[in-house]
């Protein structure tokens, strides 16, 4: 797996970011996009907009992204006039998430805030309790990732090829995906990580509507009722960890890997081309997969999956590396690969 931060570095980053976050609910009639590209909230102040927040605004006011970006670059006053018109024409309460003076997300007022600090506070003690060891983790502009291994459960896919059970936990505070807890398969011989997305917990950030009757913006504070709801949810997360870290779940996953190892391929270039389309690989990623497939010498669906996860280790972007570790799982079902027997 791709290396990232240490657990202490991750915790320090999350704590530091937590000190600089502010969340607001505001009716769009009290929100103004400025020609400078920032966002001003009535009675609160102005914030610079991140690229991600810009894209969420474009989607919400239904301005095509390419045209939005063009106005942003070439006609900022035209863009602000367009956005402000639709803010007034179709008023609605929105959750605006800010950090360090920047508006980083423009979300529905039904968005359930599941912050990284709360996640780590609930998850880390549980992982220590069950004996999971943090192996790879990072926090990007999009998500937090925590990948842990469970050495108590391991199994051989074939002679000399041992895999170990684990979990990958990911969360986005800005609407870039739900909280996920998924099984992770760690291949000891090459340190590849493969995520099995169809056997885990997915919790969408959707809750009750907030701020429907507000005339002005207000800062969103945590209430006792929210804390009680959060407590119940984190208990569900804890139960999910226990359920996924069982020999039965791992046995089913390893069974799929063994079956994939029996599905051989002979036309390597054509197979890699099909893989490129399936996983939306770049040219460089495709070339790397082809290289690792040939170098690994295992011309099977299992070998192809390992070539993809090995490629992910070389990528600079942690988000993309994790995406490839997850999407590689879909290759186990590529029954249409050419010349397999």
Flag whether 181 is in a domain. Answer: yes
Are 194 and 282 in the same domain?
Answer: no
Highest mean pLDDT among 72-76, 110-114, 123-127: 72-76
In a domain, 15, yes or no: no
280 and 236 in a common domain: no
Residue 214 pLDDT exceeds 70: no
DSSP state of 49: E
Is residue 297 in some structural domain? yes
DSSP code of residue 264: B
The per-residue pLDDT for 67 is 98
pLDDT tens across 226-279, in order?
566 667 777 888 888 888 889 999 999 999 999 999 998 888 888 888 899 999
Residue 27 lies inside a defined structural domain of this protein: yes
User: Which contiguous run of DSSP H or E holds residue 188?
Assistant: none
Average pLDDT, stretch 162-191?
Answer: 92
pLDDT in tens, 314-341: 999 999 999 999 999 999 877 555 444 4
**Is residue 302 located within the same domain as residue 325?**
yes
Q: What percent of the chain has pLDDT over 90?
A: 67
Of 84, 108, 132, at which residue does a domain stop? 108
Question: Are 171 and 92 in a shared domain?
Answer: no
Whether residues 329 and 304 share a domain: the answer is yes
User: For 199, which DSSP code?
Assistant: G
Per the structure, the complete domain to which residue 174 belongs is given by 114-204+222-253
Do 154 and 243 have their domain in common?
A: yes
Residue 211 inside a domain? The answer is no
So what's the pLDDT on residue 322? 96
> Do 246 and 288 have their domain in common?
no
Distance CA 90, CA 68 (A): 18
Residue 79 counted as domain residue: yes
- Residue given tokens 């502009």 in the structure block: 141
Phi-psi sector, 291: left (phi>0), alpha (psi -120 to 50), beta: alpha
Are residue 83 and residue 160 in the same domain, yes or no?
A: no
- Grade residue 213 by pLDDT with cuts at 50, 70 and 90: very low
What is the pLDDT at residue 118?
87
What is the separation of C-alpha 130 from the centre of its chain, rounded to a whole number of angstroms?
Answer: 24
Domain count, the chain: 3
pLDDT of residue 50: 95
Q: How far apart are CA 103 and CA 87, in angstroms?
A: 16
Statement to judge: residues 269 and 237 lie in one domain: no
Q: Which spans in 20-137 are helix H?
A: 51-60, 65-74, 76-89, 116-130
End residue of a domain, out of 86, 108, 130: 108
Q: What pLDDT does 315 receive?
A: 94
For 282-321, how does the pLDDT look when each residue is reduced to its tens digit (9 = 90+)?
999 999 999 999 898 899 999 999 999 999 999 999 999 9
- Same-domain pairing of 247 and 156: yes
The pLDDT score that the predictor gives to residue 271 is: 85
Q: Collapse the DSSP code of 163 into the 3-class scheme (helix H, G, I; strand E, B; otherwise coil) and give the result.
A: strand
Classify residue 106 by burial, with Cβ atoms within 10 Å: 0-12, 13-18, 19+.
buried
CA atoms within 13 A on the CB side of 202: 7
More confident residue, 200 or 92: 92
Helix, strand, or coil (residue 204): coil
In tens, the pLDDT along 228-237 reads 666 777 788 8
pLDDT tens string 124-153: 999 999 999 999 999 998 999 999 999 999
Looking at residue 174, its pLDDT comes to 93
Residues 55 and 151 in one domain: no
Q: Out of 68, 86, 108, pick the residue that ends a domain.
A: 108
Residue 135 covered by a domain: yes
Residue 105 pLDDT > 60, yes or no? Answer: yes
Determine, yes or no, domain membership for 323.
yes
Mean pLDDT (the chain) is 88
Q: What is the pLDDT of residue 4?
A: 87
Give 28-72 pLDDT, tens digit per residue. Answer: 999 999 999 899 999 999 999 999 999 999 999 999 999 999 999
Q: Which residues pair with 264 in a beta bridge?
A: 300
Q: Which residue did the predictor score with more confidence, 80 or 211?
A: 80
97-100 contacts, C-beta under 8 A, 24 or more apart:
97/21, 97/23, 97/173, 97/174, 98/21, 98/22, 98/23, 98/24, 98/47, 99/17, 99/20, 99/21, 99/22, 100/20
pLDDT value for 221? 47
Kindly state whether residues 316 and 301 are assigned to the same domain.
yes
Q: What is the per-residue pLDDT for 222?
A: 52
């Amino acid at each position: 797996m791709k290396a990232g931060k240490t657990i202490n570095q991750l915790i320090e980053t999350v704590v530091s970011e937590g000190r600089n976050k502010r969340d607001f609910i505001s009716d769009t009639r009290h929100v103004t996009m400025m020609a400078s590209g920032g966002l001003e909230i009535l009675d609160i102040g102005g914030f610079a907009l991140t690229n991600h927040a810009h894209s969420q605004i474009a989607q919400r006011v239904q301005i095509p992204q390419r045209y939005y970006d063009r106005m942003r670059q070439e006609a900022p006053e035209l863009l602000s006039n367009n956005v402000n018109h639709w803010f007034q024409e179709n008023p609605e309460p929105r959750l605006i998430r800010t950090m360090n003076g920047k508006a980083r997300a423009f979300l529905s007022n039904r968005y359930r805030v599941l912050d990284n600090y709360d996640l780590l506070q609930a998850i880390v003690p549980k992982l220590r309790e069950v004996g999971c060891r943090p192996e790879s983790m990072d926090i990007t502009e999009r998500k937090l990732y925590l990948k842990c291994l469970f050495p108590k459960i391991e199994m051989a896919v074939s002679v000399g090829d041992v895999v170990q059970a684990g979990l990958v936990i990911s969360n986005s505070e800005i609407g870039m995906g739900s909280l996920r807890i998924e099984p992770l398969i760690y291949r000891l011989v090459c340190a590849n990580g493969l995520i099995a997305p169809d056997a885990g917990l997915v919790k969408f950030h959707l809750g009750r509507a907030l701020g429907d009757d507000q005339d002005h913006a207000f800062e969103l504070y945590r209430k006792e009722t929210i804390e009680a709801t959060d407590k119940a949810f984190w208990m569900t997360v804890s139960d999910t960890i226990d359920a996924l870290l069982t020999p039965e779940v791992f046995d089913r996953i390893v069974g799929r890997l063994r079956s994939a190892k029996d599905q051989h391929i002979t036309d390597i270039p054509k197979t890699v081309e099909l893989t490129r389309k399936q996983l939306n690989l770049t040219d460089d990623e495709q070339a790397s997969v082809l290289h690792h497939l040939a170098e690994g010498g295992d011309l099977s669906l299992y070998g192809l999956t390992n070539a993809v996860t090995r490629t992910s280790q070389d990528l600079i972007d942690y988000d993309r590396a994790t995406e490839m570790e997850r999407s590689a799982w879909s290759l186990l079902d590529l029954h249409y690969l050419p010349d397999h027997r």
